[in-house]
């Protein structure tokens, strides 16, 4: 019998109404949303009724996605579905760390609220953006990025898909060079050059924030965005430094598979990670949490 992994999605999958069905149907989800509302009033309303533009703001996106993801994970665990390992993409790593036991729910939510504020602050200093590049290898993407002073490959998602961050003023020419190289660049629904040097100050400030909280012993294996390996005792350094460092998602998934994971449940509102995992390996199962919940309830 293989191992079960929860993987928590990052910014870009958010949409108005996310989490509402969970809240209306499951007491475990209601408890999480109510906790988040006590700490950050209006979080559940923003998830359920907020506009797309409001949810694109990083200071809103991160706490709202975290709330939805933590609610969904708690619904599953309340039903006895407990993961052997967890990982999260970018902000999803804070949710994964919380579910692993590194933080209690309140601390995890407070941290992600601060993270969103810090990253928004840095994003507002520069006109920056992100894009997914498809149909090129990581080496080819690096070659194109090397032509530009302020565009960086930042998320190594799956074969043939790399995300870049950089100055918006350089993106049009970058897109043209990607096309010339045989690829395609797709703008992402985020405001900021995340996981790049543009986020250095946010990473430093978040490290200070993390240094002031209690990091507990984890009961579930947690994988790092930076190293693609399970965390040791370096939670503060790894969780803060990932803000300005590339996400090694393909390596994370491959390492989780090598360590025995054969079923991945994407904890989030969409199927971005599910689709990535399917491209990484055809030998494992990847499914979104809502679909998995439907299966559990019909058994």
Active site residue ranges: 90, 195
Give the count of beta carbons closer than 10 Å to the beta carbon of residue 261.
25
Residue 151 Rama label (left phi>0; alpha psi -120 to 50; beta): beta
Residue whose C-alpha is closest to residue 64's, from 239, 269, 236, 205: 269
Distances (CA, A) of 122 to 63, 117, 129, 193: 17, 9, 12, 9
d(CA 23, CA 48): 9
């Amino acid at each position: 019998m293989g191992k079960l992994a929860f993987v928590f999605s990052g910014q870009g999958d958010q949409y108005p109404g996310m989490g509402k069905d969970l809240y209306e149907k499951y007491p475990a989800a209601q408890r999480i949303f109510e906790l988040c509302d006590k700490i950050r009033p209006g979080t559940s309303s923003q998830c359920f009724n907020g506009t797309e533009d409001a949810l694109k703001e990083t200071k809103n996106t991160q706490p709202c996605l975290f709330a939805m993801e933590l609610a969904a994970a708690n619904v599953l665990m309340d039903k006895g579905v407990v993961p052997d390992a967890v990982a999260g993409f970018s902000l999803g790593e804070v949710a994964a760390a919380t579910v692993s036991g590194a933080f209690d729910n309140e601390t995890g939510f407070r941290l992600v609220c601060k993270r969103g504020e810090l990253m928004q602050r840095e994003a507002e200093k520069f006109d920056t953006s992100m894009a997914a590049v498809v149909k090129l290898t990581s080496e080819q993407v690096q070659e194109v990025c090397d032509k530009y002073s302020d565009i960086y490959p930042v998320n190594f998602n799956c074969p043939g898909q790399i995300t870049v961050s950089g100055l918006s003023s350089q993106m049009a020419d970058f897109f043209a060079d990607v096309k010339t190289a045989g690829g395609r660049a797709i703008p992402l629904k985020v405001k900021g050059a995340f996981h790049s040097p543009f986020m250095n100050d946010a990473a430093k400030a978040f490290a200070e924030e993390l240094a002031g909280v209690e990091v507990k012993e984890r009961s579930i294996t947690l994988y790092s965005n930076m190293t693609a390996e399970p965390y040791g005792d370096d939670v503060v350094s790894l969780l803060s430094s990932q803000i300005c460092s590339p996400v090694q998602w393909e390596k994370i998934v491959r390492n989780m598979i090598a360590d025995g994971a054969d079923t991945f449940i994407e904890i989030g509102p969409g199927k971005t990670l599910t689709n990535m995992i399917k491209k990484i390996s055809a030998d494992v199962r990847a499914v979104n949490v809502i679909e998995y919940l439907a299966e559990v309830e019909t058994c």
